[in-house]
């Protein structure tokens, strides 16, 4: 499973870089000749792009293709590959650059389009299930961690809570799998957690929502795919969003989506549901 931006996103950049190098070589050009024809200063820009150390801009890619005589159809394919690679990884500083509310609003179309949403979370309560106080605590931590200057915390919380309306829209299904530890971590204080756990109990009764809790003592020894991993959300079978410390990965390759689906199924097989899940939530509430 990817654990940093250097996995899938870097692989995609490297694949594109390799194609660009082949295109230059097939055109019979050296790096210096390509740079001169494109109006760039020195060969270092070409070598950095070809090594994957520097992502290529759309403008530079068009210039590369023009100089090397690449047909328009092939140029468009390369531009699409560049766009996919660039869209895979977004660092946390960029996500919150325009403020917390803009970051929350930016992901809403992804949720609005999906008819099936599957979320696994090992550490905390997912955004679609958060109370106002829990969401406020989460976003306050984000604001402090990334030094977000915009004074829009309240608006960001309201945007996150408004997104939760999709849980009650017909024609949609939501499956949440939480590690039991996510019920017990007191990240934001006991009172906030108590209210959040009470809200979770009510969520288990929504007809469109499946909430499973993976017990701390769940049998994992015979399931190679059931070891805890980073939190992720699957949108239909089209995309997986993975939240990491430094940013977000958005994966769209079929083989990657299949890997996460396999993990989700493994967690689902050892999770507790319904009355059993509510007992685990109640036990977390009663813990000192």
Q: Which long-range contacts (CB under 8 A, 24 or more apart) does 6-13 make?
A: 7/249, 8/88, 8/249, 8/251, 8/253, 8/256, 9/85, 9/88, 9/89, 9/249, 10/52, 12/81, 12/84, 12/85, 12/88, 13/52, 13/55, 13/85
Judgement on whether residues 43 and 111 belong to the same structural domain of the protein: no
pLDDT of 284 reads 94
Judgement on whether residues 156 and 236 belong to the same structural domain of the protein: yes
Closest CA to 278 of 194, 213, 218, 219: 213
Judgement on whether residues 255 and 126 belong to the same structural domain of the protein: yes
Judgement on whether residues 241 and 141 belong to the same structural domain of the protein: yes
Question: What are the angstrom distances between the C-alpha of 209 and each of 56, 215, 216?
Answer: 42, 19, 22
pLDDT of 27 reads 94
Beta-strand relationship, 232-235 and 239-244: antiparallel
Judgement on whether residues 53 and 112 belong to the same structural domain of the protein: no
Q: Is residue 122 part of a domain?
A: yes
Judgement on whether residues 66 and 120 belong to the same structural domain of the protein: no
Could you give the count of Cα atoms lying within 13 Å of 44 in the half-sphere of its Cβ?
2
Question: Which CATH number belongs to the domain containing residue 53 in this structure?
Answer: 1.10.260.40
Judgement on whether residues 35 and 106 belong to the same structural domain of the protein: no
33, 56, 88 - which closes a domain: 88
Judgement on whether residues 104 and 188 belong to the same structural domain of the protein: yes
213: phi then psi, degrees, rounded to nearest 5: -115, 125
The most distant pair of C-alpha atoms in the chain lies apart, rounded to whole Å, by 72
Q: Is residue 200 part of a domain?
A: yes
Judgement on whether residues 72 and 162 belong to the same structural domain of the protein: no
pLDDT of 8 reads 61
88, 117, 135 - which closes a domain: 88
Strand partners, 239: 235
Model confidence, pTM: 0.75
What average pLDDT score do residues 32-47 get? Answer: 87
Question: Which CATH number belongs to the domain containing residue 185 in this structure?
Answer: 3.30.870
pLDDT digits (tens, 9 = 90+) for 54-89: 778 888 999 999 999 999 999 988 887 787 666 566
Domain enclosing residue 20, as ranges: 8-88
pLDDT band (50, 70, 90) for residue 6: very low
Torsional class of 189: left (φ above 0), alpha (ψ -120 to 50), beta (otherwise): left
Question: What are the angstrom distances between the C-alpha of 87 and each of 65, 109, 163, 173, 245?
Answer: 21, 15, 23, 26, 18
Judgement on whether residues 75 and 157 belong to the same structural domain of the protein: no
In sequence order, what are the residues at sequence separation of 6 or more whose Cβ sits closer than 8 angstroms to the Cβ of residue 105?
Answer: 159
Token look-up 């995309």 returns 239
42: phi then psi, degrees, rounded to nearest 5: 80, 170
């Amino acid at each position: 499973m990817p654990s940093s931006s250097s996995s899938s996103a870097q692989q995609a950049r490297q694949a594109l870089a390799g194609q660009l190098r082949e295109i230059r070589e097939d055109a019979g050009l050296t790096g210096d000749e390509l740079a001169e024809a494109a109006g760039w200063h020195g060969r270092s820009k070409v070598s950095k792009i070809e090594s994957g150390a520097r992502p290529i801009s759309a403008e530079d890619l068009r210039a590369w293709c023009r100089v090397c005589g690449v047909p328009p159809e092939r140029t468009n394919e390369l531009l699409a590959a560049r766009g996919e690679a660039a869209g895979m990884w977004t660092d946390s500083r960029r996500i919150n650059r325009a403020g917390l509310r803009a970051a929350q609003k930016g992901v809403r179309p992804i949720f609005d389009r999906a008819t099936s949403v599957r979320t696994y979370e090992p550490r905390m309560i997912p955004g679609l299930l958060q109370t106002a106080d829990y969401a406020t605590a989460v976003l306050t931590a984000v604001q402090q961690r990334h030094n977000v200057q915009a004074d829009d915390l309240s608006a960001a919380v309201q945007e996150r809570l408004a997104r939760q309306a999709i849980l009650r829209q017909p024609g949609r299904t939501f499956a949440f799998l939480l590690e039991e530890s996510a019920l017990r971590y007191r990240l934001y204080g006991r009172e906030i957690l108590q209210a959040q756990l009470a809200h979770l109990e009510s969520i288990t009764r929504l007809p469109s929502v499946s909430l499973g809790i993976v017990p701390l003592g769940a049998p994992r020894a015979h399931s190679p795919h059931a070891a805890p991993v980073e939190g992720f959300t699957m949108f239909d079978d089209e995309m997986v969003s993975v939240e990491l410390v430094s940013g977000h990965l958005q994966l769209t390759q079929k083989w990657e989506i299949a890997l996460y689906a396999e993990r989700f199924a493994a967690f689902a097989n050892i999770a507790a549901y319904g009355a059993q899940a509510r007992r685990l939530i109640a036990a977390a509430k009663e813990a000192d």
